[in-house]
Structure formats: C-alpha cells, structure tokens
C-alpha cells in the first residue's frame, strides 16, 4: 500500500508556481509538505500558499522520492548543478530544462506518447520543450495511423515561456505603447520591445540561421516519436501574449488520411489522450448574432488555455486538408506553456511512475 511520495521542487519561477498548482489540483499524494528549494533561503508564495524556501545544497535532497527541477538551464542551472545530488540521494528527477533532453541515456517523455521510454534503470527523466510537447500530443495518434513523412511548424509563443522577467517586460511595455511614447525595454530579456510586435527569435541563433528553440523542436520531436531522421522544420516566434503557445502545424503523411478521419481520431480520448478538438460549427446559440455568420467555425485561441477545463489539455482546431500534397493536413494547436508545456507534463510523469509502482 502506497504511503505517499516525498517530493521536492527546485525553482520558484512561473514553472515552479505551476507545478505547485498542478500538484494541488491533481491531489498528488504527498507524504509530507513539498520541499521547495531555490538559490537562496526566504519565504515565497506559490499558488497562493506561503512556502519556506531553502537554499539548494547537497543535503537538501535527503529523503526525497522525486524532485521536480524548474530552475534555469546551463552550467550554473539547477539540474546541472544539483541533479546528481538528487540522484545520489535516491530520488527520481524530472527536469523541465533542456540540459539532458538529447542525452541518449535520458528518456524525453510526454506521458500520452512515450511513457514506455522509462525503464527500470531510469532515474532522470527530461520534460521536453513546451512547444514540442503540445505538437507531439496530437501528432502521435495521427502518426500511429498514417505515418508522418514531414512536419513544417510555425509557432506563436507567449512571453511566459521566457520566465517571470519577460512577463514583467510585456506588462510594463503595453501602457507605454498605449500612451504612444517610446517603449523602454531590457535587451537582456528580448532584443526589442515585445509590445506590440512579433519577434521571430526565441533562444539564441545558431550558425545554421535557426534558433536553438527551432532546433529543439526538430530534435526533440524526432526523439519522442522515435524517428531519428524525420524531416521537421520550424520557425519559432515570440508574440505579445502573456500565456499559452499556438502553433500552425503542416503535416505530410505516408498513408492517406482525410481531415474528417483526423478529426475523428483526435476527438477520441482513447486514441488521443490529452487532446480537445475545438473545430466545427459553433455550439454558441448567440454566435449568429455576434458574428452575423451562423456557419462560423469554432477554433481555440491562447486565451482559451486559461479556462479551467482546458488548462492541462492540448486544444486542436482548423483541421484542414493540405491540397498541395498527396496526403497532408494543417492543424492549429494551442496549449498552456506553463501547464501542459511544463508543469502538468512533469506531474503526469510522476503520476504514471506511481501508477506503474515505480514511485511511492
């Protein structure tokens, strides 16, 4: 009989806050209060609850069963600096950052797609990039049926994907923009004002001309779907939206698949767990008055991800045949980057470990 899980969290930014929210909402079986760590000791309010934050150190991981890493990436980042201490202490580590995602010994997991990548020897699991997670959740069930040949994706990503500083940047710039004055910006966050502009620049540029975010979408999608040479090409764009990423996804398939069949597959929770299709004639009886067009189609937008029933889902709409190829589809895919794109996915991995008797 399970006695509960002793869990820790490293990082109290937007992702850390969302992890606390998801643990609470999902009724995650904590055996003791969540242990919260960051770079310094202080109190922090996360999801409306005050936590005593401890400074991260080797001893801080003792006795934990699982640690959610939601710190910054890189050599001075949380998981590179402290991941091995958590592993040595015997805990499972679920890392939101990119440091270990492409390590062949570390499974890169979206529970709806490839939970079987976790084996009896796994202790460290990488959470994919937010934009990759929301794309593979609806593509995996279509891939199972019709085998994907090529993916072309363009993203419309919220500022919260860059963290708290970026959210503050947009919030302070919008009134300046509205007042018609010059918009001040911090070049260490975005290279230009984000109010009200779209920047085709997420993460650093690489010598190929692609950004690191674009390459993450390519490489992570291949690893998760288990097709190392899958042709994937991405353009990632930061947009002046606070929460939620949207993606225009063009997919070409080996086998024939119609838009109707795709809609059927994606609407079936057994075949497509985590997907909500919002596509087709509107159910809103007032729509005709509002839009003067009763045949208007419904579609999800970034604002929808904040609706309670949809915060942990991937919303799919605008499912259309791509008439320019033998078998192709266009999809509009929307999700909450902090929830399914990070916190929810991490917590769902831990929940699956519990379900499989590997944790708790």
> Nearest approach, Cβ of 23 to ligand NAP (angstroms)?
15
Q: Supply the DSSP symbol for 282.
A: -
Q: How far apart are CA 251 and CA 231, in angstroms?
A: 10
244: contact with ligand NAP by CB under 6 A: no
Size of the site for ligand NAP (CB under 6 A): 31
Q: How many residues does the chain have?
A: 360
- Residue from 24, 72, 123, 352 binding ligand NAP (CB under 6 A): 72
347: enclosing H helix or E strand: helix 344-355
Closest to ligand NAP by CB, 20 or 146: 20
- Segment interacting with ligand NAP, rule: CB under 6 A, options 159-167, 169-177, 230-238, 264-272: 159-167
Select which of 85, 93, 143, 245 is catalytic: 245
Exposed, middle or buried, 205 (CB in 10 Å: 0-12/13-18/19+)?
exposed
161: contact with ligand NAP by CB under 6 A: yes
Q: Active-site residue 245, yes or no?
A: yes
Q: Active-site residue 26, yes or no?
A: no
Q: How far apart are CA 78 and CA 53, in angstroms?
A: 15
User: Which SS3 state, helix, strand or coil, does residue 71 take?
Assistant: coil
- Residue from 19, 130, 241, 277 binding ligand NAP (CB under 6 A): 130
Strands 280-281 and 328-335: unpaired
What residue number has its CB nearest to ligand NAP? 13
End-to-end CA distance of the chain: 9
Q: How far apart are CA 224 and CA 326, in angstroms?
A: 25
Q: Supply the DSSP symbol for 287.
A: H
The answer to whether 54 and 35 have CB atoms below 8 angstroms apart is yes
Closest to ligand NAP by CB, 238 or 318: 238
C-alpha distances in Å from residue 8, one per residue of 31, 49, 186, 203, 336 = 11, 16, 33, 28, 23
21: contact with ligand NAP by CB under 6 A: no
Closest to ligand NAP by CB, 78 or 266: 78
274: contact with ligand NAP by CB under 6 A: no
- Segment interacting with ligand NAP, rule: CB under 6 A, options 114-122, 142-150, 157-165, 298-306: 157-165
Q: How far apart are CA 329 and CA 257, in angstroms?
A: 8
* Stretch 313-342 residues interacting with ligand NAP (CB under 6 A): 337-338, 341-342
| Lookup: tokens for 322 | 């791509």
Select which of 130, 198, 201, 326 is catalytic: 130
* Stretch 39-68 residues interacting with ligand NAP (CB under 6 A): 39-40, 56
- Residue from 29, 47, 62, 81 binding ligand NAP (CB under 6 A): 81
Closest to ligand NAP by CB, 165 or 290: 165
Count Cβ atoms below 10 Å from residue 195 Cβ, excluding itself. Answer: 19
Closest to ligand NAP by CB, 130 or 251: 130
138: contact with ligand NAP by CB under 6 A: no
| Lookup: tokens for 219 | 């490489």
15: contact with ligand NAP by CB under 6 A: yes
Catalogue the active-site residues.
130, 245
Binding site for ligand NAP (CB under 6 A): 10-16, 38-40, 56, 70-73, 76-78, 81-82, 96-97, 130, 160-161, 163-164, 337-338, 341-342
């Amino acid at each position: 009989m399970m006695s509960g899980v002793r869990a820790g969290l490293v990082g109290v930014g937007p992702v850390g806050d969302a992890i606390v929210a998801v643990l609470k909402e999902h009724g995650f079986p904590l055996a003791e209060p969540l242990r919260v760590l960051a770079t310094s000791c202080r109190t922090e309010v996360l999801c409306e609850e005050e936590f005593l934050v401890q400074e991260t150190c080797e001893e801080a991981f003792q006795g934990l069963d699982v640690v959610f890493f939601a710190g910054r990436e890189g050599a001075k980042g949380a998981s590179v600096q402290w991941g091995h201490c958590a592993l040595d202490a015997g805990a499972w580590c679920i890392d939101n950052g990119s440091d270990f995602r492409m390590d062949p010994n570390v499974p890169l997991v979206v529970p709806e797609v490839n939970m079987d990548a976790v084996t009896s020897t796994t202790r460290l699991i990488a959470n994919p990039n937010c934009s990759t997670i929301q794309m593979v959740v609806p593509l995996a069930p279509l891939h199972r049926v019709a085998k994907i040949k090529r993916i072309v994706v363009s993203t419309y990503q919220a500022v919260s994907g860059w963290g708290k500083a970026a959210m503050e940047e947009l919030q302070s710039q919008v009134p300046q923009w509205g007042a018609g004055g010059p918009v001040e910006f911090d070049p260490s966050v975005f290279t230009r004002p984000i109010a009200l502009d779209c920047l085709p620049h997420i993460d650093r540029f690489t010598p190929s001309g692609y950004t690191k975010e674009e390459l993450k979408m390519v490489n992570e999608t291949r690893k998760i779907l288990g097709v190392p040479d899958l042709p994937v090409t991405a353009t990632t764009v930061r947009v002046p939206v606070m929460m939620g990423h949207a993606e225009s996804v063009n997919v070409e398939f080996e086998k024939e698949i119609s838009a109707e069949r795709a809609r059927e597959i994606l609407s079936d929770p057994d075949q497509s767990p985590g997907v909500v299709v919002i596509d087709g004639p509107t159910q809103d009886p007032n729509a005709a008055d509002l839009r003067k067009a009763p045949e208007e189609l419904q579609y999800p937008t970034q604002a929808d991800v904040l609706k309670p029933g949809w915060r942990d889902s991937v919303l799919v709409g605008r499912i259309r045949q791509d008439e320019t190829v033998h078998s192709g589809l266009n999809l509009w895919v929307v999700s909450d980057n902090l929830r399914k794109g990070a916190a929810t996915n991490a917590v769902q991995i831990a929940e699956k470990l519990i379900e499989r008797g590997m944790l708790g």
